[in-house]
Amino acid sequence: MRAEIKNLFSLNIDDLERFAPSDPEVFHIPIRLIAGPQAGEGEESFDFEVCSPGWLATEVAEGKVVLLRHRLLMKSFNFGAVRNFVERYVHGCEGATWKEVATKLAKLGLWEFEDYQE
């Protein structure tokens, strides 16, 4: 079983294709990946952030500690490059069950069912 992208968007930005941060060197953009089984039904969300080295520098400037899980780092924001990276990553996630595939996707973004227990 493989995953496929059903949607890739931001809850904060309407048009990621045309978006340009006000400061191209200091940005932090939340993105949501909706993925599901390839050619199958169902979908789940995986949230991650795209940020710049400049944004990280401002976060740690005053002694803050930043956990880097579920973040992509890039010097300047380019949604096409983000989309290409996510497409390659998702295409590489394979497993015998959807749970195995989703666990691999959860390394990219916070899975909505990551710590779910029945």
Band (118; pLDDT cuts 50, 70, 90): low
Residue 18 banded pLDDT, cuts 50, 70, 90: very high
pLDDT for 66 equals: 86
Report how many helices (DSSP H) and strands (DSSP E) the chain contains, helices first. 3, 5
Average of per-residue pLDDT across 85-113:
94
Q: Is there a contact between 77 and 101 (Cβ–Cβ < 8 Å)? A: no
Calculate the average pLDDT of the chain. Answer: 93
Query: Which alpha helices (DSSP H) does 31-78 contain, by range?
Result: 53-60
Q: Which residues contact 26 (CB under 8 A, 6 or more apart)?
A: 52, 54, 55, 58
Kind plus residue range of the DSSP H or E element containing 102: helix 98-105
Query: With bands split at pLDDT 50, 70 and 90, how would you rate the model's confidence at 63?
Result: confident
The pLDDT of residue 6: 96
What residues contact 19, with CB distance under 8 A and at least 6 apart?
Answer: 10, 13, 29, 77, 79
Which pLDDT tens digit goes with each residue over 39-60?
Answer: 888 999 999 999 999 999 998 9
Of 49, 54, 52, 47, the C-alpha closest to 74 is: 52
Tell me the pLDDT band of 117, cut-offs 50, 70 and 90: low
Lookup: tokens for 14: 């309407």
What digits encode the pLDDT tens for the residues 23-41?
999 999 999 999 999 988 8
